[in-house]
A and B are shown apart, each in its own frame.
Chain A
Amino acid sequence: MKQIGYYPGYSTLAQKDFWDDATRAVVLKRLEPPAPLRFFGPGEAERLEAVVNQILPQDDRPAERRIAIVPELDKRLYEHRGPGYRYADMPPDGEAYRMGLRAIEEIAQHLFGAEFLYLRNRERDQVLFTLHDGEPPAAKAIFARMSVKHFWLMLVNDVAEVYYAHPWAWDEIGFGGPAYPRGYMRLERGEPEPWEKPEQRYEWAAPEDSLSGECRPLPGSHL
């Protein structure tokens, strides 16, 4: 399978000998097999996995090159690690995740009369778009206790944080990765360093049976 992204053959990990020890240890840890879950129960984990697959789909990546996301979310919630704040209209993060999963189930039932897990790709995206748009058609009781908008952004942010922390994701987007102690020497005009790759664009399209390929502004956006 071809390497995903416009920088074929680019590998940040190929540069790991040029990184400092502390950084190398932190990044290489992300390649280790994920630890067992401690926060989410098996049923919850399966549903969260399905939701996360829509938020950050990886079907185009070879199976052995998919980035495990749920275990990292689980770890953060188990260890009570937060970003340093909680919105006044949100319950604690762990509780918010549990409530959010239940809400997604209720919306799936409301719209399609079936569990989220048994929905087709498009239907799953439809359910999630109701959260994105801030207009969930069900789970009123849950969203009376929790802001839809803040739940949605927490979910997308958390998932993005795990994915784009991974060196394979850096290869996909052409990010230089750790850069100490070597640094950069070509700063302007987007020129690659000798060890970076020039861009080779190709036509890219989201799978036809999905809806999330088309970006839609969040409610209340300005431009």
Chain B
Amino acid sequence: MKCYREEEAVDYCIVGVGSAGAVLLQRLARAGFKVVGLEAGPFWDTERDWVSDEAGSHQLYWTDLRITGGSDPIALGENNSGRGVGGGSVHWAAFVPRLHPSDFRTYTEDGVGCDWPISYKDLKPYYELIEREMPAAGPAWFTWGDPHGYPYGPHPMGGVGDTLVRGCTKLGIRVCAGGPVAILSGSRADRPHCIYRGFCIQGCKVGAKQSTLISHVPDAIAHGAEIRDRSMVARIHLGPNRRVNAVTYFDRDGREHVQRARAIIVCGYAIETPRLLFNSACPGFEQGLANSSGLLGHYLMVQAGNVVAGRFPDLVRLYKAPPAHAMTEEFYETDPKRDFARGFAVQTVGPLPIAFAKQMAKAKGAWGWGLREVMMDYNHWSTLGVLGEILPAYDNKIELAEEKDDFGLPVAHVTFSLHENDHKMIRFAVKKVEEILLAAGAKEVVEEQRYAHLVGAARMGTRPENSIVDGFCRTHDIANLFICDGSVFPTQGSANPGLTIQALAARTADYLNQQGEAIFTSSHVSREKPPVRRDLSPPVTFGSGVPRV
């Protein structure tokens, strides 16, 4: 791997080599820029570091302290964020639906949320590119939103998907089996196909599930990118002329370093990105770097992820097959017959025993002998997840807490509360999933309230007064500082965010490539749409799950 000197200003320093960060790193390296990725977590050796075991997989998640409050506080850690090269794509379930065209204009269409500064059309070519780079498996015809097909065929059904398909079919609800999911249904180069072992959320040792660690990182390194793992960025430096020029980071031994760079892209995800910008407050930006709007940290979102579990007389064995393998988006759009705006999707989830026990502790109030008994019936349960659109709200936010982490940096304090539309949507969605499970033959149905997928808190928009970044992920305040990760979403739809995050990164890379040197030398902000670069994809992903550096 290439090694840059710290005093030498690289072209781009990328903070966080996760879903978005790795795609940017790969494309910028391929285009010939000098790029360094600083990643707080480790560079995984997947065969040695990952295990086929629930309790043994905690190191994949961001488990440093965060404080969570509000009237509906969200669980963080393993429920939300990853740490290590590949970021959240290491432990995601890899459902990869696209956003719908309506998601980009909810304010215009439904009078709620807000419009994105870009449209579905702007992202569509990048959805198509990333779906092939992952690559995604799913039906030849996916019927919702902007209908399209997938490069790899759908997966066989596991027990949970089977109940979803049966229930939906009984009720006349259209349903999609076997995807869309970024898991190989056939092998590709030296990446093997899925073996249906159901440990996706613990990291796919097989290499069948996409993570940017195996799809983009090897190609980035092959083209001269440097990744420094176990490097926690503490602060971004503002230099003369309102331009950033370096970052301070701590290496694996806690030693402090400064890396100089001509431009910086923050890809730390929806909590760490605002936290880093707050921690980088400096004269001129007292309330946080690039935060002249005062909106940094606000409009944090999660999707409603209520799990509805149904007990079946027959065995289901929900631990087999990838947790993500069937879904319906039939309730995705606003329906004037309902008393709330926007909607939800229904997806399979396949909790392993520990996750399921925790679910039963909440859903049934089980403990003691009751917990032992319900767990003895583990194989009789099927679990479906609501994935519902919670609308952006100003008071859902990230601030700095009093507490500090091991490096002495203030940790994040997250505040989250549901609002009226969210409550109505969730009640309706849970009821609908309950009906589906009962139609499939469940004899008992219980619900656990939970949330999934952080986005927002550094939203994109048209003007400095209403947002942090523009439609190309450039901060309004600082011409050579970009934010590109889940935190830029203004709204979230009812699609899992990962595909959109990677697609946005590919689009941002095209913009940066087209702008070339201007990013480093000029403060003129171009809004010209870049041509779609189809020549920057990794050729085939290689490494069998173990990128060989």
Contact = CB atoms under 8 A, between A and B. Distances in A.
B364 A217 contact: yes
B379 A164 contact: no
Given A179-B52, A179-B197, A183-B195, 20 more contacts: A5-B376, A54-B368, A55-B371, A56-B368, A84-B61, A84-B80, A87-B73, A161-B357, A173-B378, A175-B378, A180-B52, A180-B197, A181-B195, A181-B206, A183-B196, A187-B196, A188-B157, A199-B379, A211-B368, A223-B434
A57 to B, nearest CB: 6
Contacts of B159: 187-190
Number of contact residues on A: which range applies?
35 or more
A32 interface: no
Contacts of B364: 215, 217
A117 interface: no
Given A188-B158, A223-B445, A26 B362 contact: no
> Would you call the interface of chain A mostly helix, strand, loop, or mixed?
loop
Interface in A187-223: 187-192, 199, 204, 206-207, 210-218, 221-223
Nearest to A172: B376
Contact of A184 (B55, B65, B195, B366): B195
A221 B67 contact: no
A67 to B, nearest CB: 12
Given A83-B78, A187-B320, A179 B199 contact: yes
Interface of B: 47-56, 58, 61-70, 73, 75-78, 80-81, 156-159, 162, 195-199, 205-206, 308, 314-317, 319-321, 352-354, 356-358, 361-376, 378-379, 413-414, 427, 430, 434, 445-447, 449
A26 B78 CA distance: 19
Contacts of A160: 354, 357-358, 361, 371
A170 interface: yes
A169 B361 CA distance: 17
Contact of B365 (A20, A179, A213, A215): A215
Contact of A26 (B53, B68, B319): B53
A175 B352 contact: yes
Which one of A57, A89, A160, A192 has the greatest number of beta carbons of chain B within 10 Å?
Answer: A160
Contacts of A179: 52, 195, 197-199
Nearest to A220: B449
A89 B51 contact: no
A22 interface: yes
A170 B427 CA distance: 34
A165 interface: yes
